[in-house]
Structure 1
Amino acid sequence: MTDTNTGTATQRLRNGTRAWHEAVERTGFATAMLAGALPLDRYVGQLAAYRVVLAALETELARSLCPSVDSVWSPDLAKLPLVERDLRHFAALGPAPRPGPAAEDFVVEIRLTAVTEPAELLGFLYVLEGSTLGALFLRRYVTEAYRLTDGRGTSYYGSGDRARWAALTERLDRALGEPAVQERVLGAAERAYRYVALISAELSVGLGRPAPEPV
C-alpha cells in the first residue's frame, strides 16, 4: 500500500488521489469517449458543467488574500475562456445542457472553502489543472468522434501543458511545506475528485454502469 504521508506536497496529492483518478477513468462517460461512442451532447454537457465550476474556482483564486494561494495562482492557469470558446463553437446545435447537481454542489463547496479554508482551494486547482493533461491525451478521440478541425471545439481539451504543470507543482511544493496544510489540501483534492466523478456519473447515464466510489 502506498504511503501517502511522505514526500513532497504534490507527491502526496498524486498518491492520495490515485484511486479517485482511476475511478473517474472507469465511468461510462470515460469509456465511451475512448471507444469513440460518446454522444456529442454528453461532451458538451461536461464543458457546460466545467464552465460553472471553473467560473467559481478561478474567481475565488484570483481574489483570495491567502498567501499560499497568491504564491501559486497565476492568470495563465485560467481555463474558463477556453471552455467558453468551445461552448460557443457548439452553440449552433442548440443551448448547452444545463449542469447537473454535482457541478452546482461543487460550486457551493468552492465558495464555502474560499471563506473558511482558502488554502484548500489549491487542492481543487491541483485536480482541475491536472485533468487537462489527461484531456490532452483524449483530444484526438474527441476530434475524430465529432469530426472537428483546426482545434474548434477542443480548446479546453487541448490546454494541457507539461511545462506549465511542472511550474505549478513546483509552486505548490513551496507553498504547502507544512504537513498539516498538505493534509488539508489533500482532503480538498479528494473532495474535488469526488465531484468530478459525480459529474462524470451524471453524464454516464444510459452509457453503462458508473464506476463505484473508491473506498
Structure 2
Amino acid sequence: MTDTTTQRLRKGTRAWHEALEATGFATAMLAGTLPLDRYVGQLAAYRVVLRALETELAHTACPCVGSVWSPDLCKLPLVERDLRHFAGLGATPEPCPAAERFAAEIRRTAALEPRELLGYLYVLEGSTLGALFLLGYVTRAYRLTDGNGVSYYGSGDRARWAAFAERLDRALGEGGVQDRVLAAAERAYRHVALISAELSAGLNSEAAEPV
C-alpha cells in the first residue's frame, strides 16, 4: 500500500523531529528551567518566519498551494498577541539571525517553486500540536493565567490538522511533487533546528526567570 503524502512527510522527517526534542531549549522547557527571554525569543523568531510564509502562501497564484492553504491556518496574529503581552512586562527579544535566513529562503522558494511552500507549512502547522503538549509546562514555568502569553502554544487543533492533512494528500498525489515537498520539509526542520540552537546557547548555566 502506497503511503499518503502526510505519511511520507511524517516518516521522512521523524529523525529531525526527534533531534529537536533533544535540544537544550526543549529539555529546559520540559524541566521548567527555560528562561523567559528564550521563550519570548522563540515567539519573536517564529513571527519573522510566519510573516514570510503566510504572506507568500496567501499571495501565490499556484493552484496546488491555493487548494491547501486556508486562512484558519494563520498563526501570525497569535504570535503577535503573545509578544504584545510580554512587551508589556518589559521582555524584549534579541534578533534571531537563523529566523531571518529561514524567511529569506521562504521568499526564494515562493519565487522559484511555490509548491514547496507546503513542506514548510507542514512543519510549522504540525509544530502547533507539539506546542499544545507543552502548553502546561509553559503556563507553570512563567505563571501565566487567562491565556496570556500562550495564544500560539494553545493554538493546536487536531480537527484542523486532519482537515489540512486531507487537503495536502489530495493536492500532492504525484510522486515527484511529493519528493520536492518532502525535501522542503527537511529544509524547514533544519532551519528550525538552527533557531533552536541559537536559543539554546548557554542554557546549562541559566535558570528560569519568574514573571
Same fold (TM over 0.5): yes
Give the gaps of 5 or more residues in structure 1.
Answer: 209-215
**Structure 2 counterpart of 1:25:** 21
CA spacing shift, 1:148–1:95, aligned 2, 3 Å = closer
User: Where do residues 89-128 of structure 1 align in structure 2 (5 Å cutoff)?
Assistant: 89-94=85-90, 96-128=92-124
1:142 has 2:123 as partner: no
**Counterpart contact for 2:40–2:91, Cα < 8 Å:** no
| Cα distance in structure 1, aligned partners of 2:33 and 2:10 | 29
Match among 192, 203, 206 for residue 202 of structure 2: 206
What's the RMSD between the two structures over aligned residues?
1.1
AA in 2 matched with 1:174: R
Deviation at 1:152, TM superposition (A): 0.4
The amino acid of 1:111's aligned partner reads R
Aligned match of 1:84 in 61, 80, 84?
A: 80
Distance, in Å, in 2 between the alignment partners of 1:183 and 1:149 is: 43
Aligned pairs, number: 204
Q: TM-score scaled by structure 1?
A: 0.93
Residue 6 of structure 1 deviates from its aligned partner by 4.5
In the aligned structure 2, how far is the partner of 1:187 from the partner of 1:171? 19
Give 3-state SS (helix, strand or coil) of 2:39's partner. Answer: helix
1:57 aligns with 2:53: yes
C-alpha displacement of 1:101: 1.5
CA distance, structure 1, for counterparts of residue 25 and residue 149 of structure 2: 18
Identity %: 80
Q: CA deviation at 1:100?
A: 1.5
Off by >6 Å, runs of 4+ in structure 1: none
Structure 2: where are the runs of 5+ without partners? Answer: 205-211
Within the candidate set 8, 12, 15, 1:12 is matched to 8
1:21 & 1:102 partners in 2: Cα distance?
Answer: 18
Deviations 1:101-127 (A, max 9, x none): 110100010000000000000000000
3-state SS of paired residue (1:203): helix
Alpha-carbon separation, structure 2, partners of 1:72 and 1:95: 36
Counterpart CA distance in 2 for 1:162 and 1:200 is 25
- Kept after mapping to 2: 8 A contact 1:48/1:96: no
**2 CA distance for matches of 1:92 and 1:128?**
27
1:191 aligned residue: 187
Instruction: Check whether the contact 1:135–1:158 (CA below 8 A) recurs between aligned residues.
Output: yes
Change (3 A) 1:36 1:95: closer
